[in-house]
Amino acid sequence: QVQLQESGPGLVKPSQTLSLTCTVSGGSISSGSYYWSWIRQPAGKGLEWIGRIYTSGSTDYNPSLKSRVTISLDTSKNQFSLKLSSVTAADTAVYYCARDAGGWWYFDLWGRGTLVTVSS
Amino acid sequence: DIVMTQSPDSLAVSLGERATINCKSSQSVSHSSNNKNYLAWYQQKPGQPPKLLIYWASTRESGVPDRFSGSGSGTDFTLTISSLQAEDVAVYYCQQYYTTPFTFGPGTKVDIK
């Protein structure tokens, strides 16, 4: 079955760019009508949707983060990526990649999450 | 943005008893074209990602025990655990997928009394 796995640095310095990758296994990232999303969760807090990318490459971002976020797709590697620029301590969180249900935008598949800490 | 609120923040229920969680959206998440409510519920246990329980406000995801049920429409929704089991201890979140940015409620923590 399809699985998602986040990867990337666990520590990022303030003002730098956070970069994460989600690797899709067990299926092609290009097949089906799926959106691939990034969602984050600060420790002990709730969930925040960051943005998503469609298999065509079109993107939607949360306006609260839009000026700092880029989500891209690499179909050759079966991956999609997140870049968040100018990070501060407020960006410290567990970052999840997730897939929607194929045409309907609830999330039926999640990665295990990766903790990113912003600190000097 | 559609703001999601949940109540209570936390609750403790005896094993085998009913647990009820409420979720309210700042605007309707019901689409007039198909009469569907764009509302999902998730369960999150410590150290794990959220797990989808319910979508379309009342449709159980495959494999989810039937003690979990969802109801409501428009702006007011409820997740009910009919007979709480030890493995149900978790934080529960509602999410609207009516429009971007998709938003989640702040979560309700369920414990055993």
Q: How many Cβ contacts (< 8 angstroms) between chains A and B?
A: 52
Model confidence over B43-96: pLDDT tens digits? 999 999 999 999 999 999 999 999 999 999 999 999 999 999 999 999 999 999
Write out the two tokens for B32.
Answer: 């007039």
Q: Using a CB–CB cutoff of 8 Å, tell me whether B109 touches chain A.
A: no
Q: Do B40 and A113 touch (CB under 8 A)?
A: no
Separation CA A25–CA A114 (nearest Å):
17
Beta pairing class for B10-13 and B108-112: parallel
- Tell me the percentage of chain A whose pLDDT exceeds 70: 100
Q: For residues A75 and A11, what is the distance between their CA atoms, to the nearest angstrom? A: 27
Q: What is the pLDDT of residues A93-113, one digit of tens each?
A: 999 999 998 888 999 999 999
Residues A60, B100: C-beta atoms closer than 8 Å: yes
Closest CB from B55, B100, B106 relative to A46: B106
pLDDT of residue B63: 97
pLDDT of residue A88: 98
Using DSSP, state whether A15 is helix, strand or coil.
Answer: coil
Q: Which of A37, A62, A110 sits opposite B50 (nearest CB)?
A: A110
Please check whether residue A106 touches B, CB under 8 A: yes
Mean per-residue pLDDT, B6-29: 98
Whether chain A has a CB inside 8 Å of the CB on B48: the answer is: yes
Q: So what's the pLDDT on residue A119?
A: 97
Residues of A in contact with B106 (CB under 8 A): 46
Residue A59 has pLDDT above 90, yes or no: yes
pLDDT (tens digit per residue) in A22-38: 999 999 999 888 999 99
pLDDT given at position A29: 93
pLDDT, residue B100, reads 95
Residues sharing a CB contact under 8 Å with residue B11, sequence separation 6 or more, in sequence order: B19, B21, B108, B109, B110, B111
pLDDT at residue A32, as a whole number: 81
Average pLDDT, stretch A62-88?
Answer: 97
Cβ-Cβ contacts under 8 Å, A107 against chain B: 40, 42, 50, 52, 95
